[in-house]
Amino acid sequence: MAITEREIAEIAGVSRGTVDRVIHNRGRVDPEVHRRVSQVAEEHGFTPSHMGRALALAKNPVKIGVIVHLTKISFFQVVLQSLKEARQEIARLGGELIIKEQRDIDADEQMKLLDELVADNVQGVVISPAQDARVRNYLNDLHQNIGIPIVTFNTDLEGLERLCYVGVDYVKEGRTCAYLMDLLLRGKGGKILIISGHLTQPSNHLRVEGFASECGTHYPNLEIVAMQFNNDEQEKSYEITKTMLRDIDDLDAIILVSAGHTGVCKALEELGMSEKIKLIMFDSLPETDMYLEKGVIDFVIDQDANRQGSLPPKILFDYIFNNKKPEQERVVGQITVKTKYIS
């Protein structure tokens, strides 16, 4: 995506007002400052004609619709905040980002929100799609018959004709989790409880799939003795953890592949088992950072929520505004492992 005036100002070490005067040739600017700002703008592909196009679009802005689900949980709250920041940047370039929030994963609600975006005459859609054929068919119809490009993030949808997917390799995350769990249990194996979120959330299933596959190949002594679903709710995570620790005397470890971090950690602390039970969770958040520091969580595997919020609308805006296609149809982010010593 083209560089913004704010970014030029940061690189050149001047105010945005100075950049504005240089770009639009209004007001006096020190010659050396003028040269420095112009050089930064040129090196990063920013030209007055580009800004002129953006100003022309101010009367008829490029409209991009975004649907983000599970906004009740911490991870997607971070995604949502990044989307709102991207909305401000896109607005400066002559675009409009219309954000629709879902509390849960519901295909019917997602279809309704898509109807609203179409009624708003959006020219592109960013979506974390529900795993439902109706959603896939609706989006494919938008693309084929109206020419609306689609960018998916966090979750993808098989058979969807989209411009690209922005997210992470969840199977690889699961395989990484198996490796880390084997380290925690010192290669001796052990009994493991997995807590997941929604039956319809593919990221959860793919993490478990990757974990189970890696265990079958390299770590056969790691045994999944139970799998429970918490609907991404803290209280349910809390109750599941207490119940399973009561029912499974020799449980060695817990893996949480969804939301519900605080519930699991509180239960372990209350039962005095935070040292005995090894714990791996996903997504770096304020609550996971706190429990890492306390030693309740051993590892957190992160997928960068900020990137998943900021990058998809920028990719789509660049495609619509500059006819620039993304270099890859799967923009997969780096997996990061955090400990109490590395955060």
Question: For residue 28, what pLDDT is reported?
Answer: 65
What is the CATH architecture of 61-167+305-332? 3-Layer(aba) Sandwich (3.40)
Point out the least confidently predicted range of 19-28, 188-197, 206-215. Answer: 19-28
| Whether pLDDT at 230 is above 90 | yes
| Whether pLDDT at 188 is above 80 | yes
Mean pLDDT of 158-184: 97
| Whether pLDDT at 116 is above 90 | yes
Mean pLDDT of 37-51: 73
How many other C-beta atoms are found inside a 10 Å radius of the C-beta of residue 240? 23
| Of 58 and 154, more confident | 154
Question: For residue 2, what pLDDT is reported?
Answer: 63
Mean pLDDT of 229-246: 97
Domain extents in the chain: 5-46, 61-167+305-332, 170-302
Question: For residue 25, what pLDDT is reported?
Answer: 59
Query: For the whole model, what pTM was predicted?
Result: 0.81
Which of the four pLDDT bands, split at 50, 70 and 90, describes residue 167? Answer: very high
Question: For residue 41, what pLDDT is reported?
Answer: 85
- Nearest CA-CA partner of 161 in 175, 147, 172, 174: 147
DSSP assignments along 100-147, one per residue: EE-SS--HHHHHHHHHHHHHTT-SEEEE---S-HHHHHHHHHIIIII-
- Nearest CA-CA partner of 168 in 280, 338, 302, 268: 302
Which of the four pLDDT bands, split at 50, 70 and 90, describes residue 279? Answer: very high
| Whether pLDDT at 15 is above 90 | no
Fold match, 61-167+305-332 / 170-302? yes
Which of the four pLDDT bands, split at 50, 70 and 90, describes residue 6? Answer: confident
CA pair distance 98, 190, nearest whole angstrom:
48
Question: For residue 237, what pLDDT is reported?
Answer: 98
Which of the four pLDDT bands, split at 50, 70 and 90, describes residue 128? Answer: very high
Which of the four pLDDT bands, split at 50, 70 and 90, describes residue 195? Answer: very high
Mean pLDDT of 148-164: 96
| Whether pLDDT at 343 is above 90 | no
- Contact at 8 Å (CB) between 89 and 95? no
Which of the four pLDDT bands, split at 50, 70 and 90, describes residue 17? Answer: confident
Query: What rounded mean pLDDT belongs to the chain?
Result: 91
Query: What tens digit of pLDDT does each residue of 56-113 get?
Result: 555 568 899 999 998 889 999 999 999 999 999 998 887 899 999 998 888 999 999 9
Point out the least confidently predicted range of 17-26, 180-189, 237-246, 318-327. Answer: 17-26
Which of the four pLDDT bands, split at 50, 70 and 90, describes residue 256? Answer: very high
| Whether pLDDT at 158 is above 70 | yes
Long-range contacts of 236-239, Cβ-Cβ distance < 8 Å, separation of 24 or more: 236/260, 236/263, 237/195, 237/261, 237/262, 237/263, 237/264, 237/267, 238/263, 238/264, 238/266, 238/267, 239/263, 239/267
Type of residue at 79: V
Q: Considering only the top CATH level, what class is 170-302?
A: alpha beta
By the 10 Å C-beta count (0-12 exposed, 13-18 middle, 19+ buried), 193 is classed as: buried
